[in-house]
């Protein structure tokens, strides 16, 4: 290893130009290192003097050291999210969700096969109340979609998925089916006049039952 030879005049020791700071101030680390180099040379400790001198020469200049100072506050240790965010292309699609008071999603509506869809719109029979049961509607649509012939009618008779007899309904089932029947005409097919007539008819029936009994 090549050894650096440094000649130090101990009678008139002068600090290097970059250390021309007032001695009234506390010594910097670089100044302390220079003093140790001088002491090692004075003690004829060439090995230690050369080692310390290599460290001294490898130190960055004061301007660089100032720019690389160690952060001392928590704010300096944390990055600002806005500064580190990756710029991306802004989307032009409006994704605003609008809420309309009083409305509910109609995803519960499964729908009817073409035969009953036509009868509902044209007020034709048969239209048994049991076809407004959601579970039955789902089964009927599944059976219809698997048929080779897409017609549920033959010689004027219904030939599709069998619907339950209306007399098999108990009060709870009848109430649910009637409500579905009303919603179908009013909210799905938008035939409001007929729906209002049905409500008025049911109100009259309920009043008669309440007064005279069944």
Token pair, residue 149, equals 């012939």
Split into its structural domains, the chain has a count of 2
Q: How far is CA 131 from CA 31, 114, 127, 155, in A?
A: 97, 13, 7, 21
Pairing of strands 157-158, 153-154: antiparallel
Structural domain includes residue 153: yes
Closest to 149 measured CA to CA, from 111, 114, 118, 110: 114
pLDDT band at residue 214, thresholds of 50, 70 and 90?
Answer: low
Structural domain includes residue 80: no
Structural domain includes residue 82: no
Structural domain of 37: 1-74
Q: What is the pLDDT of residues 43-77, one digit of tens each?
A: 888 888 788 788 777 776 665 445 555 555 545 54
pLDDT band at residue 182, thresholds of 50, 70 and 90?
Answer: very high
The verdict on 124 and 194 lying in the same domain is: yes
| Strand, helix or coil for residue 183 | helix
CA distance 36 to 47: 13
Q: Is the peptide bond before 126 cis (omega within 30 degrees of 0)?
A: yes
Q: What is the pLDDT of residues 83-134, one digit of tens each?
A: 444 444 444 545 454 444 444 444 445 678 888 999 999 988 899 999 999 9
Token pair, residue 214, equals 């069944």
Structural domain includes residue 31: yes
Among 74, 106, 125, the domain-final residue is 74
- Note the helical H segments in the chain: 29-42, 46-58, 62-67, 74-77, 81-84, 114-122, 134-145, 171-183, 192-212
Half-sphere exposure of 59 (CA within 13 A, CB side): 18
Structural domain includes residue 91: no
CA distance 188 to 108: 11
């Amino acid at each position: 290893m090549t050894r650096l030879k440094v000649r130090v005049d101990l009678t008139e020791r002068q600090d290097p130009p970059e250390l021309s700071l007032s001695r009234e101030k506390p010594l910097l680390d670089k100044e302390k290192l220079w003093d140790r180099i001088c002491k090692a040379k004075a003690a004829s400790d060439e090995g230690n003097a050369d080692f310390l001198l290599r460290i001294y020469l490898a130190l960055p200049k004061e301007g660089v050291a100032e720019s690389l100072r160690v952060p001392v506050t928590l704010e300096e240790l944390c990055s600002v999210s806005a500064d580190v965010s990756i710029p991306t292309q802004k989307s032009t699609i409006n994704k605003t969700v609008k809420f309309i008071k009083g409305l509910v999603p109609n995803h519960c509506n499964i729908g009817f096969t073409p035969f009953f869809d036509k009868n509902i719109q044209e007020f034709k029979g048969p239209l048994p109340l049991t076809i407004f049961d959601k579970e039955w509607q789902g089964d009927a649509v599944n059976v219809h979609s698997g048929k080779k012939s897409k017609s549920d009618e033959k010689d004027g008779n219904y030939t599709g998925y069998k619907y339950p007899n209306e007399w098999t309904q108990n009060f709870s089932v009848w109430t649910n089916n009637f409500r579905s029947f009303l919603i179908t005409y009013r909210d799905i097919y938008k035939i409001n006049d007929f729906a209002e007539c049905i409500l008025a008819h049911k109100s009259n029936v309920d009043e008669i039952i309440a007064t005279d009994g069944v």
